[in-house]
């Protein structure tokens, strides 16, 4: 079993970041902590994510999963995009700032109250959250190991979609929530932010700087992020561990809502590989 606490911290522009912290029942020993980063159109309570966190906590790690402050959900409604304007104004820099605030909170506050060891922090990012995790790992010495699932390798190509002319002319493009059919705006904030901060948001440059242990997990049937992106990340850091899950899709078999009490087979494989990696490196 694991202890489970929920709390809010102040995020970018004073917006609130909801955090779920799972801590294993291991007596008084301090344990490493893994921070889980969701991806684009994701949230900390999506589908299998709570079960994944429980599995990792039962394996002896604390794990913090959180919502980026501009992901479009709210502390009162954690699983619906009830704040579309905030979703539309999100940027890569805001997500990096939110991640830094989560780390600061774990380092200075939560570690005083819980049994986590702030000197052993690992990052686990899915999809766009994987790209953000790689950027943070390259430049923050508090991070000791980084794992990514179905991570993107390049933000720039996503800032130049086929409908770029429409985006620039009207100031926004529409993003569809495939689960609900909801139309969400995406304004030029994110594109402007990328080009204003292109050097610090360069994933290739970041991966080449990484000196810590790194794990890459990717499915061969990923319909959202092609396998070649994982292969590129591996080329940039030949020392990274690479787990190729044959037949796995972008969410490793998960969906939202997930009402079963066990994990999909591909998710379980990803979790087991990740637990082994962090056990060896944190």
In CATH, the number for domain 2-154+198-281 is 3.40.50.1820
Confidence class of residue 112 from pLDDT cuts 50, 70 and 90?
confident
Q: Is the separation of the CB atoms in 44 and 129 below 8 Å? A: no
Q: How confident is the model at residue 104 (pLDDT cuts 50, 70, 90)?
A: very high
| Dist. CA 5–CA 64, nearest whole Å | 10
Tell me the helix, strand and coil percentages in the chain, rounded to 5.
Answer: 35, 25, 40
| pLDDT tens-digit map of 58-98 | 999 999 999 999 999 999 999 999 999 999 999 999 999 99
- What is each CA distance from 121 to 100, 112, 142, 166, 278, in whole angstroms? 12, 15, 7, 42, 10
Asked if residue 231 has pLDDT above 70, the reply is yes
Rounded to the nearest integer, the mean pLDDT of the chain is 96
| Residue 29 confidence class, pLDDT cut points 50, 70, 90 | confident
- Which residues have a Cβ under 8 Å from the Cβ of 96 and sit 6 or more positions away? 132, 135, 136
User: Mean pLDDT over residues 213-242, rounded?
Assistant: 98
How many CA atoms, within 13 angstroms, populate the side-chain half-sphere of residue 189? 15
Classify strands 214-219 and 143-149 as parallel, antiparallel or unpaired: parallel
8 Å CB contact between 49 and 65: yes
Say whether pLDDT at 113 is over 70. Answer: yes
Return the pLDDT at 26.
Answer: 78
Is the pTM higher than 0.85? The answer reads: yes
Q: Give the pLDDT score at 1.
A: 67
The rounded distance, in Å, linking the Cα atoms of 123 and 103 is: 10
How many residues would you count in the chain? 282
Tens digits of residue pLDDT in 121-133:
999 999 999 999 9
Beta strand pairing status for 2-10 and 16-24? antiparallel
Whether pLDDT at 17 is above 90: yes
- CA-to-CA distance for 269 and 264, rounded, in angstroms? 9
Asked if residue 32 has pLDDT above 90, the reply is: yes
Q: What is the pLDDT of residues 133-185, one digit of tens each?
A: 999 999 999 999 999 999 999 999 999 999 999 999 999 999 998 888 899 99
pLDDT at site 281? 98
Percent of the chain predicted with pLDDT > 90:
91
Dump strand ranges (E) for 92-239.
116-126, 143-149, 172-176, 183-187, 214-219
pLDDT recorded at residue 33: 97
| 22 — pLDDT class (breaks 50, 70, 90) | very high
Among 218, 233, 213, 219, residue whose Cα is nearest residue 279: 213
């Amino acid at each position: 079993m694991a202890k489970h606490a929920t709390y809010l911290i102040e995020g970018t522009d004073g917006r609130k970041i909801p955090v779920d912290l799972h801590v294993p029942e291991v007596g008084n020993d301090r344990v490493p902590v893994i921070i889980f980063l969701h991806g684009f159109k994701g949230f900390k309570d999506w589908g299998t994510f709570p079960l994944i966190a429980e599995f990792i906590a039962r394996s002896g790690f604390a794990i913090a999963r959180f919502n980026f402050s501009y992901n479009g959900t709210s502390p009162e409604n954690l699983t619906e995009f009830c704040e579309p304007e905030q979703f539309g104004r999100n940027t890569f820099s805001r997500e990096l700032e939110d991640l830094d605030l989560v780390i600061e909170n774990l380092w200075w506050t939560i570690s005083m109250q819980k049994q986590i060891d702030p000197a052993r922090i690992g990052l686990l990012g899915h999809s766009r959250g994987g790209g953000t995790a790689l950027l943070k790992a390259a430049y923050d010495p508090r991070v000791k190991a980084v794992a990514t699932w179905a991570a993107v390798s390049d933000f720039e190509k996503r800032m130049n979609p086929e409908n770029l002319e429409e985006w620039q002319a009207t100031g926004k493009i529409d993003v569809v929530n495939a689960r609900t059919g909801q139309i969400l705006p995406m304004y030029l904030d994110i594109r402007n932010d990328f080009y204003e901060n292109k050097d610090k948001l360069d994933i290739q440059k970041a991966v080449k700087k990484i000196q810590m242990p790194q794990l890459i997990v990717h499915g061969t049937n990923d319909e959202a992020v092609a396998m070649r992106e994982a292969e590129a990340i591996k080329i940039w850091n030949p020392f990274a561990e690479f787990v190729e899950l044959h037949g796995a899709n972008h969410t490793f078999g998960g969906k939202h809502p997930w009402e079963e009490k066990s994990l999909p087979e591909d998710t379980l494989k990803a979790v087991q590989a990740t637990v082994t990696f962090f056990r060896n490196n944190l």
